[in-house]
């Protein structure tokens, strides 16, 4: 008898409600094939919930999902609620209160997807961005001084702790050991002259714990250029909250459509459930038409199963996605086809069975 997983589902808004069921369909197909089972608990936390209750989730929302094995999120945000409210009150709250200190984003060019980089194929683009997700440049330390005078000024402090830097670096090196054994650090130690030399020093120290893993570092400015010109140089790329944020959008962009990119918010200690979601948002411009690409959500499901230890199932889902879009399977409009969301999801579930 295989394992049973308890998954909290937050479909959210817009196309989140259309692509999440396709992710669930594919997980169910994988469960049948690989002999595990899933209990889904659905939470209706979204902008409609906000309209009824004046908040994005109940006061004890985080406690309601804390006991789950993972959280499967669609997308949150709708024009009726300011984006900073829907994002901070739901997604960021979950990330922070559950200690999901790793933001993980694969940038892999799938067979059948054309990269915006001319001439690049699946063998050239296969790397992972590991972003520090708990501190750094995104802090509330600082303030506005001399407001309303000609001396007006703002101070915005960055906060970097040894504990948070070391744990994200070790995560990156551990991950590299499961891949092609190389870690690249995003730095800016020429310009940001206190914090970034510190990152460089911690990187060198942690690298000594992993003599079997190669490592190099690049300033963030040239690193963005290398992502475009030499994507084949990279395996695992690690950086601070801000640098990781920038790279996390650039990486999936070089690997194709926004509709296919997945992401994970991970608690490596496994004390709390990790959260998996597509990179894209709720796409109000196409919501309600049943034409959204479900692959980002389905790939996020594969990441979730990998995290839960169902490695074969995760691999099989990725293979099924590639067999459908690399063959003659149905493609949604963003990939140049005219298939509906449900058709694309069913084809991947069938390829898996
Ligand atoms: P978006 O990702 O929702 O849409 C950007 C463009 O990509 C749109 O033209 C959309 O039609 C297209 N697109 C996105 N996903 C697609 C898919 N699966 N298939 C086909 N086309 C797809 O980003 P946008 O417009 O900036 O944000 C819309 C809302 O989503 C906002 O409220 C925003 O706050 C929220 N959002 C939520 C995120 C989350 O839940 N983590 C992440 C990003 C945005
Ligand atoms: Mg971002």
Give, using CA atoms, the residue closest to atom 43 of ligand 1: 281
Within 6 Å (CB) of ligand 1, which residues are found?
15, 75-77, 83, 87, 91, 258-259, 277, 280-286, 292-293, 296, 334
**pLDDT tops 80 at residue 138:** yes
Residue 1 pLDDT class (50, 70, 90 cuts): low
Segment 14-30 mean pLDDT: 98
Write down the pLDDT at residue 30: 98
Nearest CA to ligand 1 atom 20: 292
pLDDT in tens, 81-113: 999 999 989 998 999 999 999 999 999 999 888
Average pLDDT over residues 221-232: 97
Residue 144 in tokens: 């506005």
Domain positions in the chain: 1-114+257-353
pLDDT > 90: percent of the chain: 92
Of all ligands present, the nearest one to the C-alpha of 129 is 2
Cα-to-centroid distance, 13 and ligand 1 (Å): 10
Q: Are 266 and 131 in contact (CB under 8 A)?
A: no
Whether 66 has a pLDDT exceeding 90, the answer reads yes
**Sign of the four-CA dihedral 160, 162, 163, 164:** positive
Phi-psi region of 295 (alpha: psi -120 to 50; beta: other; left: phi over 0): alpha
pLDDT at position 235, please?
Answer: 98
114 against 238, higher pLDDT: 238
183: CB partners within 8 A, 6+ apart: 169, 172, 173, 176, 207, 210, 213, 214, 215, 235, 236, 237, 238
Which pLDDT belongs to residue 338? 95
ipTM metric: 0.98
> DSSP secondary-structure letter at 159?
B
As a whole number of angstroms, the distance between CA 234 and CA 183 comes to 8
Which residue's alpha carbon is nearest to atom 32 within ligand 1? 77
Q: How far is the CA of 45 from the centre of ligand 1 (A)?
A: 17
For the chain, give the percent of residues with pLDDT over 70.
100
Residue range 158-164: mean pLDDT, rounded: 97
Please determine, looking at this structure, whether the domain spanning 1-114+257-353 carries the CATH number 3.40.718.10.
yes
Q: Determine the distance from the C-alpha atom of residue 295 to the mean position of all C-alpha atoms in its chain, rounded to a whole number.
A: 13
């Amino acid at each position: 008898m295989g394992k049973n997983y308890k998954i909290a589902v937050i479909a959210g808004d817009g196309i989140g409600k259309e692509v999440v069921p396709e992710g669930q369909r594919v997980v169910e197909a994988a469960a049948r094939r690989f002999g595990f089972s899933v209990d889904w608990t659905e939470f209706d936390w979204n902008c409609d919930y906000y309209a009824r209750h004046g908040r994005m989730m109940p006061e004890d929302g985080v406690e309601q999902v804390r006991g789950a094995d993972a959280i499967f999120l669609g997308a949150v945000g709708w024009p009726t609620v300011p984006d900073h409210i829907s994002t901070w009150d739901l997604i960021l709250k979950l990330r922070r209160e559950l200690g999901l200190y790793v933001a993980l984003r694969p940038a892999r060019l799938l067979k059948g997807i054309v990269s915006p980089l001319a001439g690049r194929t699946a063998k050239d683009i296969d790397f992972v961005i590991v972003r520090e997700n708990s501190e750094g440049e995104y802090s509330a330390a600082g303030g506005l001084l001399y407001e309303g005078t000609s001396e007006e000024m703002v101070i915005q402090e960055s906060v970097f702790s040894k504990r948070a830097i070391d744990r994200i670096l070790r995560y990156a090196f551990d991950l590299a050991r499961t891949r092609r054994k190389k870690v690249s650090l995003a730095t800016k130690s020429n310009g940001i002259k206190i914090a970034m030399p510190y990152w460089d020093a911690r990187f060198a120290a942690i690298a000594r714990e992993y003599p079997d893993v190669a490592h190099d570092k690049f300033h963030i400015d040239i690193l963005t250029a290398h992502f475009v010109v030499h994507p084949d140089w990279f395996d695992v790329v690690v950086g601070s909250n801000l640098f990781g944020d920038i790279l996390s959008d650039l990486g999936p962009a070089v690997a194709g459509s926004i509709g296919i990119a997945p992401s994970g918010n991970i608690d490596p200690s496994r004390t709390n459930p990790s959260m998996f979601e597509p990179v894209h948002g709720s796409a109000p411009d196409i919501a309600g038409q049943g034409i959204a690409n479900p692959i980002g959500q389905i790939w996020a499901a594969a990441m979730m199963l990998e995290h839960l230890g169902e490695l074969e199932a995760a691999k099989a889902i990725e293979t099924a996605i590639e067999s459908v879009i690399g063959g003659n399977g149905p493609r949604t409009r963003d990939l140049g086809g005219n298939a509906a969301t449900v058709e694309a999801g069913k084809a991947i579930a069938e390829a898996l069975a």
